[in-house]
Amino acid sequence: MVEWILSPVRVGAAMSLLAAYGALCAGVAWQARRRRQALMPTTQGQASDVLVIYASQTGQAEALALQTQQALRLASVGVQLLPIGQLRWEQLQQHPRSLWLLSTTGEGDAPDAALPFVPLLWHPQPPAAGHHAAVLALGDSSYARFCAFGQQVHAWLQRQQVQAELICVDRMDARALGQWQQLLTRWAPAVQWSPDHFKPWILRQRTHLNPGSQGQAVYALELVPADGVLPTWEAGDVAAIQVPADPAHPRDYSIASIPQEGCLQLLVRQAVRANGSWGLASHWLGQGLQLGHTVDIQLRAHAAFRLQGNARRPLILVGNGTGLAGLLGLLKARIAQGEHAQWLVLGERQAHCDALMDAQLQTWLQHGNLQRLDRAWSRDGGSMPYVQHVLLAQAEAVRAWVAQGAAIYVSGSRQGMGDGVHAALLQILGAAALQALQAEHRYCRDLY
């Protein structure tokens, strides 16, 4: 008996989304074909032997899926890469083998992009006794339902008589990832796993953004490549940081800059563990790393939070704390394109010391690069302490923006802010409309 990992709200969301997805299928499929053609050039004369399926929330599973695809192709294995939201059972039956790279988000939920797939788990499919599969489940053991979505998919495959293996990875543990590499070698002995492409970046500037705050210090970091060659990235992407004290577990930070600025900008909040000790990565980046010294960084695509088809749409951007970083990247990319239809809603503690990046935001507002800027202050005693209260108070405006084609991007903490914003949007727009936005990639979330 399988214990389903989806809450009742997400169960309803999955079912409604499936219906919305059917109506939008043609447009979504067209966009998906364009992305696959750009990322995955086909190999001449090579049949697709392995289906590589991924479900990613922050881009880690997608990055590993691309790396897996590349390793197999270099070993002359035919591979097709597919986001799990586009998978149909018939496609699985057309391939003798499949590799599943699946993240778990929140308290054991499937990633947002996996919701169109979830209803398949509730119904038995025709047996696929000759099919072989392997599931790489990514998760964090500090959560009670560790790797729950990956484990659920693995159990579902077994019920369809698929011969399925399972590898669970705790916070990108190198040993577990090594098991995945060994599995690929068993499947294709010629596989050579490509090394991670970390390169040294020099810390050029660090600015304390919230002196006097009741919360922990927030720093703006500015870095440049040590070799002088600036790589490319897109707004919404992330930087994986290797910390000397724990090099086996890179930390992800949203990128707050665009390549046109000539540097990598990050926002880092000093973290404190439950026992009172400093977080290894945030403390080192905020205080330990000296100006002029280097840090190893790998830039990683985060397709679920990129602009993509929303590049020319109006945007409603909602976030709190250092979630502002990813929203800044989106705003800068839009402003560089001459777009001005953007509404930013931010939450922090107190106006007098926690107005992060306020000078820049006010300048954009004055010059018309921002149409609206709304702030929520949780410790100032106002009537709208959190961003979800701002959205509810401006419900008519939210509906009007969405009716005009706006996309909604949400970035920051999942607990409190992320869940609260989702509940507010459900109340403002209704479940069917919100799920349709998600299917169109017009409701995008980067939550932690």
Q: What is the pLDDT of residues 415-427, one digit of tens each?
A: 899 999 999 999 9
The closest alpha carbon to 118, from 223, 16, 242, belongs to: 16
Rounded to 5 degrees, what are φ and ψ at 321?
A: 55, -140
Surface-to-core class of residue 434, CB atoms within 10 Å of its CB (0-12 exposed, 13-18 middle, 19+ buried): buried
* Mean pLDDT for the stretch of residues 262-289: 94
Domains of the chain with bracketed CATH: 8-32+45-187 (3.40.50.360), 199-300 (2.40.30.10), 305-447 (3.40.50.80)
Nearest Cα to 53, choosing from 39, 64, 38? 64
Q: Which two tokens stand for residue 313?
A: 């749409």
Residue 194 pLDDT: 67
pLDDT for the residue 5: 42
For the record, the structure tokens of 143 come out as 């959560």
pLDDT at 195: 65
Mean of pLDDT over the chain: 87
Task: Read off the pLDDT of residues 128-168 as tens digits, 9 standing for 90 and up.
Answer: 888 999 999 999 888 888 999 999 999 999 999 999 999 99
- The token pair at 71 is 């390793």
CA atoms within 13 Å, Cβ hemisphere of 225: 14
Nearest to 128 by CA among 105, 172, 97, 169: 97
Q: Are strands 50-55 and 79-83 parallel, antiparallel or unpaired?
A: parallel
What is the per-residue pLDDT across 214-224, written as a single tens digit (0 to 9) for each? 999 999 999 99
2: confidence class by pLDDT, cuts 50, 70, 90: very low
pLDDT of residue 15: 44
Distance CA(120)–CA(116), nearest Å, equals 9
Is beta strand 264-269 parallel, antiparallel or unpaired with respect to 218-225? antiparallel
pLDDT at 141: 86
Of 89 and 320, the one with more pLDDT:
320
User: What pLDDT sits at residue 7?
Assistant: 46
pLDDT at 122 (0 to 100): 85
Nearest one of 219, 311, 321 to 266, comparing CA atoms? 219
100 and 53 Cβ atoms separated by less than 8 Å = yes
pTM exceeds 0.85 for this model: no
pLDDT band for position 115 (cuts 50, 70, 90):
confident
Q: Is the pLDDT of residue 24 over 70?
A: no
Evaluate if residue 124 carries a pLDDT over 50: yes
pLDDT digits (tens, 9 = 90+) for 57-106: 888 899 899 989 988 988 888 999 999 999 988 888 889 999 999 999 87
CA angle 242/245/247 to nearest 5° reads 35
* Angstrom distance (rounded) from CA 154 to CA 158: 6
pLDDT at 27 over 50: no
Give the mean model confidence (pLDDT) for residues 177-191: 87
pLDDT band at 188 (very low <50, low <70, confident <90, very high): confident
**Closest by Cα among 115, 98, 201, 196 to 154:** 98
Residues 328-359 have pLDDT tens digits of: 999 999 999 999 999 999 999 999 999 999 99
- Look at residue 174 in the predicted model and tell me its pLDDT: 81
**pLDDT value at position 399?**
98
CA angle at 105 for the pair 237 and 423, rounded to the nearest 5°? 95
